[in-house]
Amino acid sequence: MSRKATLPVLLFVALLVISLVLTTGIGSVYIPAGQIIRILLYHLPFMQHWIVPDWSGASEQIMLRIRMPRVVLAMLVGAALGVAGAAFQGVLRNPLADPFTLGVSSGASVGAAVLIFTGYEYSLFGSWTLPLVAFVTGMITLYGVLMLAREQGRIPTNSLILSGVVMQSFLGAIVSFLASMSEGSVNEIIFWTMGSLSLRGWPYVVVMLPYVLIGILFLWTQSRAMNLLALGEKEAAHLGLPVDRTKTLVLIVATLITAAAVSVSGVIAFVGLVVPHMIRLLIGSDYRLLIPLSALGGGIFLMWADTVARTMLSPTEIPLGVVTAFVGAPFFAYLLHRYKKQRTD
């Protein structure tokens, strides 16, 4: 990484840490930032000698048991969706591709929902089962969407999005139907189709972390390949890139981290679209920088979006996907307009 790249990365890491502390503090019980930092430090090894606990046990419990896992989960889900979006855009060379518009999120949610409503969520591989099954159904959906959109070996931007939308509404209907069949409430349906992070504790973080971490690192190693693909598939092949193998691998891994995110949070729309494009506007399209910044930016974005979701109408929660759609859908419209203009110019 060049020196030019270090500054934005450091800036985003700083923003991420600040957001983590601030959003942990915000809620029905306000916890000041200074106190959060001291509680955190207190729980590091050997720090007990230096810090005198002057806070109430209740706020420590609220912070560590309720707020923190949720904020960290928002960060991981955001990072996963942000990077998956950038990767889908990179290998499909389609600016409007993201886990949601491609129907991959909905596909993954079908797998997860079937398992949960039939009570098999801990079969086979214990707590790892859910993300893996969500991955399989997400992969099948992606394959279906790509096949549906293909016209003579090419995949036009618009028909890809259309296929995604068709798949999405069909799969969304399946999930809603399953939720209605179980004794679950309307809330459960909303959870799956609009996304939510309520009542998610540390175990979910543990399940998600390895998938997301390894997935993002892998996609980062493919960033130079995605830069080459921007030149065109033929050009990339002439420069020594095994194009088909690279595309397949990236699609698989992007689907895997999407599935990991969806199996804890349901379908959260547009994160993979808004975040990478914001980053593109800031630093350009170099994937070596775009991938890590989409991870950090996605984390920051979703931590704040979830804070809005849980506090704005407190004690009622707004589904997280509603918040992201309020930002994401107009942004999608803007992108559509911009690329239309670019094509006619």
- CA separation for the pair 126, 306 (Å, rounded): 28
Query: Closest distance between other proteins and the C-beta of residue 276, in Å?
Result: 14
Instruction: Name which position in 240, 316, 341, 344 contacts other proteins (CB under 8 A).
Output: 240
State which of residues 232, 312, 314, 340 lies at the interface with other proteins (CB under 8 A).
232
Q: Which two tokens stand for residue 286?
A: 């170099």
Q: Binding of other proteins at residue 330 (CB under 8 A)? A: no
User: Would you count residue 242 as binding other proteins (CB under 8 A)?
Assistant: yes
- What do you get for the CA distance between the two ends of the chain, in Å? 35
Task: Name the residue nearer to other proteins (CB basis): 241 or 264.
Answer: 241
Q: Tell whether residue 239 is a contact of other proteins (CB under 8 A).
A: yes
Taking the least distance from each CB to other proteins, the nearer of 140 and 243 is 243
Question: Smallest distance from the beta carbon of 241 to other proteins, in angstroms?
Answer: 6
Verify binding: residue 150, other proteins, rule CB under 8 A.
no
Cα separation, 114 vs 199, in Å, equals 20
Residue 142 near residue 97 (C-beta atoms within 8 A): no
Tokens at 72, concatenated: 């960290």
| Positions 251 through 310 that interact with other proteins (CB under 8 A) | 284-286, 288
* Residue 234 binds to other proteins (criterion: CB under 8 A): yes
Task: Give the tokens for residue 282.
Answer: 């800031």
- Residue 135 to residue 146: CA distance in whole angstroms: 16
Binding to other proteins by residue 113, rule CB under 8 A?
no
Q: Whose Cβ is closer to other proteins: residue 9's or residue 230's?
A: 230
Q: Which residue among 230, 252, 282, 329 contacts other proteins (CB under 8 A)?
A: 230
Q: Give the binding range for other proteins (CB under 8 A) out of 148-156, 232-240, 253-261, 332-340.
A: 232-240
Please state, in angstroms and rounded to a whole number, the distance separating the CA atoms of residues 250 and 85. 11
Residues 200-229 that bind other proteins (CB under 8 A): 221, 224, 227-228
Nearer to other proteins, 165 or 230 (CB): 230
Contact call for residue 235 and other proteins (CB under 8 A): yes
Three-state DSSP at 44 gives coil
3-state secondary structure at position 268:
coil
Minimum CB distance to other proteins smaller for 142 or for 279: 279
Q: What is the DSSP string of 56-96?
A: -HHHHHIIIIIIHHHHHHHHHHHHHHHHHHHHHHHHHT-TT
Q: Smallest distance, Å, CB 334 to other proteins?
A: 17
Smallest distance from other proteins to CB 240, Å? 3
Q: Toward other proteins, which CB reaches closer, 87 or 268?
A: 87
The DSSP call for residue 327 is H
The DSSP annotation for 242-257 comes to -HHHHHHHHHHHHHHH
Of 290, 268, 245, 329, the closest CA to residue 87 belongs to 290
The residue from 10, 18, 231, 313 that contacts other proteins (CB under 8 A) is 231
Please state, in angstroms and rounded to a whole number, the distance separating the CA atoms of residues 77 and 239: 35
> Within 182-222, where are the H helices?
186-194, 202-221
153 near other proteins (CB under 8 A): no
Give which of 213, 249, 247, 208 is closest to 230, Cα–Cα: 247
Q: How many residues bind other proteins (CB under 8 A)?
A: 20
Contacts with other proteins by CB under 8 A lie at: 221, 224, 227-228, 230-232, 234-235, 237-243, 284-286, 288
